[in-house]
Chain A
């Protein structure tokens, strides 16, 4: 298995740079999701890796070979990659078996071998017996599986997926997420997966690269991104969060008005503006008056008034107006609801859950 290295990749369309100095390292056998809102450059990056586009700057290496650079681009048919498109791009004038067998024809695979491999692959994607049907006769989910089969049967070095689940309905999408993850674990192909759906990215991938305006702003496991977001954008894009604008009082505390928070850092510059991100489910809610000024294990203890408690079935969503400041915190807690609107409540937040963001300035 080979890895993919992208260095300083830049692609411009007229005056606009869709990809701007993008760096990314994909380890052999890893599945990295390219996650971001529309226009962030994730599809352009994928197409650059596939060889459909030529970069203005930067290089794309697969293993020890440079496949794309401003000087030359190895054409797509020579890159030993496979791609699954958002629209599946199945050829309507060929049967399912012919679609899946297409890539095998250029690898010197004999016909009996081809047929066998196609059959095996159709079985793996649970489309056994569908070989002689035409794509037009299949449902969306079935077409998607044909696209997957077509890509995997050629045993590519690199697999590229461009939002393959976007055209499916919600239930099917969830099911297919696990399918794709299962297939990745079976075959272990180095994979780049483009999506705008963060839940999908977090379920499917080994690591998630969050893209904003043409570059990678943070890459890490789902846990890393969730617990330690580095920028405002990442904090807001991945899951829900509370953002508090304050000023560093000491190397490890941030203040806003009468509110002081111990945060997950010890090298803040006193006086500098800091934005703190706190995930709603990492705030513990206790109704009634707080115990006296004791702060067990250095936790932050805050008080406030409940504005609203929304019962969501599997969780409760609270909005609490803090006493110490103008801040309204969103809290997610387990059922049953622990307080009602209008009641005084106490909140407990561990310093590790208060993450100062790098782009606070």
Chain B
């Protein structure tokens, strides 16, 4: 018997192309990329937080924990995060239950509106609510005064409760999505068993359904808290005028002239650790799969009839969505088209001047161009990277792929402000002097959006069984041909979805941009922030509306072309 196969046109040494050899270049490149994106900046952050005049010092940390102002900022952040998490839960849980489990009317409309709230940048919502509920000129307060003849305000948005309210309005979708997805997995026979035994619907909901979704509820709560912790825009708009700080605004303040970078670094590290800890807890709660696995195949369920409560429940949901979507969008539209936003909307007041002013203003134009450039670039690079990594990790093409997956998802732990501080420290010095260019923003956005992009790509490749590729290979197609002819067409819609998610995330980003921008490298969100200082609400509204239009255009593109929506469920076929 002859040994190695020469007659089939190949040599044994060439085919000793094992997993180990293939992985080396990938590992080197990825390690370098991740090192640059994450480890280097975080390393500098840590170093800066302990460096002082005479070398290593813990002075900065000492100041963080003893300075009264800073202590207050810490406390305010805890209060904000906790209460807005709770509020998000109080809104999201009932809405999710109503959507997934009952015969609530107009469910698709509700779901779409929740999605609209999900993609609305929270700082835009905060601006809108200033126009709605500012104590003096706020629309609602003026309405109240004209109706009741009272002197004071009905609500003052420039308070901690006001801030909690606004934050909750834009973080409750996270809770909603998490719980709806879980509820849709639970077969209803467990609940029906209870019903047959005589339990009424409320009892069933509280006694059977609730415990099963508890992990998802807790996880949703933690997600909402994490979002609240990392927010910069809403606290900056609502808390600063009220005279209090949160950690994120405090870090930003430390960057204003003269910048106290070491203090900012020292302040960032506890925030980072807190976020990491919360994420660890959340992961434990959900196990490996990242969502509450309750078994069941999501078979058809009997929706619980609400009877008399149908329309009250619908009104409740619509009231929430009015606060999150209708009222803010409405006031933004009004402000965009009014000469003086606080005056009633009459024909006199109507103007298109805001639009021409904003779009003809050169720095706004530059900002729009920057935003679009960065959005497209980050989405393309991010989607490409995410797709490649997801494929490699899903098909286990290299050794240690689990570690790689962990590293790709790691940036989710870093709040935007902290990331910005770290990047600032790392890239305002040689060898990579990126500060002052759009590149530092690109790096920030790419790092921040990688987890979202990777999650979507991961889901895409999980849906493409390896057997589909193996079938191609055994019939004679090489690995690359299989990728091109079989995998790519099947992954196409998932890749486009990844692109869209990253694009949307970039155009609305604020917390990192606000620290890393320079006069030449502003983006839309930063310009909006500038305009706030000048009280130019008309221009703010215009830019805000523009941002919303871009976001919704992308979402609609995704929905019509690809048949999937932002909330992650396929539209056709259920």
In the bound complex, residues from chain B placing their C-beta under 8 Å from that of A154 are 475-476
Q: Which among A65, A82, A90 has the greatest number of chain B C-beta atoms within 10 A?
A: A65
Q: A76-B470, A87-B467, A89-B465 are in contact. Are A103 and B4 (CB under 8 A)?
A: no
In the bound complex, residues from chain A placing their C-beta under 8 Å from that of B473 are 52, 75-77
Q: Write the A140-170 contact mask toward B (1 if CB under 8 angstroms, else 0).
A: 0000000000110010000010000000000
B475 in contact with A54 (CB, 8 Å)? no
A83 in contact with B476 (CB, 8 Å)? no
**A93 partner, pick from B10, B12, B490, beta carbons under 8 A:** B490
Q: Does B108 contact A (CB under 8 A)?
A: no
Chain B min CB distance to A101 (Å): 10
B478 in contact with A75 (CB, 8 Å)? yes
Give the interface residue-count category, chain A. Answer: 35 or more
Q: Does B2 contact A (CB under 8 A)?
A: yes
Q: Does A134 contact B (CB under 8 A)?
A: no
B5 in contact with A54 (CB, 8 Å)? no
In the bound complex, residues from chain A placing their C-beta under 8 Å from that of B9 are 78
**A85 partner, pick from B7, B470, B489, beta carbons under 8 A:** B470
In the bound complex, residues from chain A placing their C-beta under 8 Å from that of B7 are 65
A85 in contact with B467 (CB, 8 Å)? yes
In the bound complex, residues from chain B placing their C-beta under 8 Å from that of A73 are 15
Chain A min CB distance to B227 (Å): 37
**B474 partner, pick from A54, A76, A105, A107, beta carbons under 8 A:** A76
By Cβ-Cβ distance, the 6 closest A-B pairs, closest first, are: A103-B475, A106-B476, A89-B471, A89-B467, A76-B473, A72-B12
How far, in whole Å, are A73 and B17 apart by their CA atoms in the complex? 9
How far, in whole Å, are A106 and B472 apart by their CA atoms in the complex? 11
Q: 19 more A-B contacts (CB under 8 A) besides A50-B470, A75-B473, A91-B472?
A: A52-B470, A65-B2, A65-B7, A66-B1, A66-B4, A71-B16, A72-B4, A72-B15, A74-B5, A74-B15, A78-B9, A79-B474, A82-B475, A83-B474, A87-B467, A89-B467, A93-B490, A102-B472, A154-B475
Q: Which residue of A lies closest to B2 (CB)?
A: A64
What is the number of contacts between chain A and chain B, taking CB atoms within 8 Å?
A: 88
Q: Does B348 contact A (CB under 8 A)?
A: no
A61 in contact with B474 (CB, 8 Å)? no
Chain B min CB distance to A65 (Å): 5
> From DSSP, what is the main secondary structure of chain B's interface residues?
loop
8 Å CB interface, B440-481 against A: 465, 467-468, 470-479
How far, in whole Å, are A67 and B465 apart by their CA atoms in the complex? 26
**B477 partner, pick from A54, A64, A102, beta carbons under 8 A:** A102
A66 in contact with B3 (CB, 8 Å)? yes
Q: Does A81 contact B (CB under 8 A)?
A: yes
Q: Which residue of B lies closest to A61 (CB)?
A: B1
Q: Does A342 contact B (CB under 8 A)?
A: no
In the bound complex, residues from chain B placing their C-beta under 8 Å from that of A66 are 1, 3-5
In the bound complex, residues from chain A placing their C-beta under 8 Å from that of B3 are 66
How far, in whole Å, are A93 and B4 apart by their CA atoms in the complex? 38
In the bound complex, residues from chain A placing their C-beta under 8 Å from that of B16 are 71-72
Chain A min CB distance to B390 (Å): 19
In the bound complex, residues from chain B placing their C-beta under 8 Å from that of A65 are 2, 5, 7-8
In the bound complex, residues from chain A placing their C-beta under 8 Å from that of B468 are 89, 91
B470 in contact with A83 (CB, 8 Å)? yes
**A78 partner, pick from B4, B8, B467, B489, beta carbons under 8 A:** B8
Chain A min CB distance to B223 (Å): 34
Could you show 8 A-B contacts with beta carbons less than 8 Å apart? A52-B470, A72-B15, A76-B474, A77-B476, A82-B475, A83-B471, A89-B470, A91-B472
How far, in whole Å, are A93 and B464 apart by their CA atoms in the complex? 12
Q: Does A39 contact B (CB under 8 A)?
A: no
B465 in contact with A78 (CB, 8 Å)? no
Q: Does B18 contact A (CB under 8 A)?
A: yes
In the bound complex, residues from chain A placing their C-beta under 8 Å from that of B13 are 72
How far, in whole Å, are A183 and B223 apart by their CA atoms in the complex? 57
In the bound complex, residues from chain B placing their C-beta under 8 Å from that of A107 are 476
Q: Does B40 contact A (CB under 8 A)?
A: no
Q: Does B486 contact A (CB under 8 A)?
A: yes
How far, in whole Å, are A150 and B467 apart by their CA atoms in the complex? 14
Q: A54-B18, A89-B465 are in contact. Are A71 and B12 (CB under 8 A)?
A: yes
Q: Which residue of A lies closest to B1 (CB)?
A: A64
Q: Does A92 contact B (CB under 8 A)?
A: yes
Q: Which residue of A lies closest to B11 (CB)?
A: A72
Chain A min CB distance to B487 (Å): 10
Q: Which residue of B lies closest to A87 (CB)?
A: B467
